[in-house]
Structure 1
Amino acid sequence: MFLRIDDRLVHGQVVTAWIKQLNVKSILVIDDLAAGNPIISKALTMATPKNIKLVIKSVEDAKSCLCDFEEKDLLIITKAPVNAKKVIQENLCYEWKMNVGNMGMDAGRKKYAQTVYLDEENYAAIKELEAIENIDIFMQTVPGQTVTKF
């Protein structure tokens, strides 16, 4: 199962690079704000190519919906590792690839890569997930770029 951490959710890099690289047919956005806000949902829908199915779920709802998708056809996107941790821990039956692609600069965040800044809570979530055997966590902005580990 491929999960991308990207605080911009669906945007140009996802649409032009990751969808093509992964050959996905569906995107699952896991974000409480987007799931509850029709304006944000509409913007994400407009950013998604017409041939790609977009599903937007809250973190709680996403925990139990993964079996509704074909694993090889799905790209999961959420804004933060803490959200990813909640979903992954409820779905440990999958082999996970967690791509930390973009979390912007903000107060209280430390730089880990050119586009990855994490606060203590999100860094701790990554470290907890790294301890689980079937999860590969890496930083990479776009396919073809060098992969970096924490």
Structure 2
Amino acid sequence: MKAFILVGHGKLPKAMIQSVKMMTGDIPNLYSICLMPEEGTDQLKIKMKKLKTELALYKEILVFADLFGGTPANTLFQTYQKDSRFSFITGMNFPMVLMAVLTPNASKEEIILVGQTGIKDLQAKEQVKDLESTNSEILITKKESKAKQSTIHVRIDSRGIHGQVTTAWLPYLQVNRIVVIDDLAINNPTQKIALKMACPEQVKLSILSTDTAVKRFRDDVSYKNENILVLILRVETLKEIDKKDFIFKEINLGNVPARKDTRKYRQTIHLTDREREIIKKIITKGTKFTAQMVPNDAIVDFDEYLD
């Protein structure tokens, strides 16, 4: 097993680990070493020694440092450069750390490339133009369709397409199409651009109204042979889908944020009384609700929380 050490100035390494765990769930092989303003190399070495026993369990250790030539990077490199278990990358950023943790066998070159390609100018004219003009709704014609049925995974997540979805759920479920169902998003050009921007290039994207979504899932042609992740941004959308006499077999509650008049059911699930009643009604129709933030987390039967 490989260990990862994040080292840098101030509380950045700890904050980076917190961000990573939001995507991956709790993982034991991720460590941080922080150099605070009042500290120097001696304090860094003391912190490193405290990890000695735990690090002895690993055959490979990858160190991410925030700044090339900085004291944290220099100190760890000078201390461990002769230990063949250690390798080092500087210029640490979130995409590269996430890539390394989720893909332990990735090479340093691959990790660095992910870190570089994750840097984008969101206001670049060329990129915005591409997003506005992209026709993401690609359907299969009857001539192309085969007997194999589509596989559909459904998740309620107010954040839409974001880090947990792209780095954890898409690879885990081997998704090749995301279907976002939301009657508000379909009429919001800015939100549609944001969704297209967040969707990986190799994954097809459909942003649909509840009417269109139900029609597509009812026919036997549109999404043949596809592995689909359905993202529902609002619990209220389930009510609109139910009005059309359509249900999903299972729905994963990922993130429903805290708002006025909501009750906390789990760390990332907060429901109003109205939303609670919508879910309870859908359960009576035969849908099973689970709660699971990331694939590494245990699957929780959310039906029991509503009893």
TM-score for the superposition, normalised by structure 1: 0.89
Q: Which runs of 4+ in 1 moved over 4 A?
A: none
Contact 2:177 2:226 in 1 (8 A): no
Higher relative strand content: 1
Determine if the alignment matches structure 1 residue 118 to structure 2 residue 271: yes
Instruction: Output aligned runs, 1:1-150, within 5 Å.
Output: 1-66=152-217, 67=219, 68-70=222-224, 73-87=227-241, 90-92=245-247, 96-133=249-286, 135-148=287-300, 149=302, 150=305
Give the aligned residue type for 2:285: I
How many angstroms does 1:71 deviate by?
7.2
Larger radius of gyration: 2
TM-score for the superposition, normalised by structure 2: 0.45
Q: Percent identity between the aligned chains?
A: 32
Stretches of structure 2 that go unaligned for 5 or more consecutive residues are: 1-151
How many angstroms does 1:82 deviate by?
2.6
Give the aligned residue type for 1:112: Y
Stretch deviating more after TM superposition (83-92 or 114-123): 83-92
Residue 141 to residue 46, structure 1, CA distance change in 2 (3 Å):
same
RMSD across aligned C-alpha pairs, in angstroms?
A: 1.8
Instruction: Provide the rounded CA distance (Å) in 2 between the counterparts of 1:82 and 1:34.
Output: 13
Instruction: Tell me the matched-pair count.
Output: 147
Match of 2:28?
none
- Give the 3-state SS of the residue equivalent to 1:138 in structure 2: strand
RCO (CA 8 Å, sep 6+): is it higher in 1 or 2? 1
How many angstroms does 1:85 deviate by?
4.0
Stretches of structure 1 that go unaligned for 5 or more consecutive residues are: none
- Give the 3-state SS of the residue equivalent to 1:75 in structure 2: strand
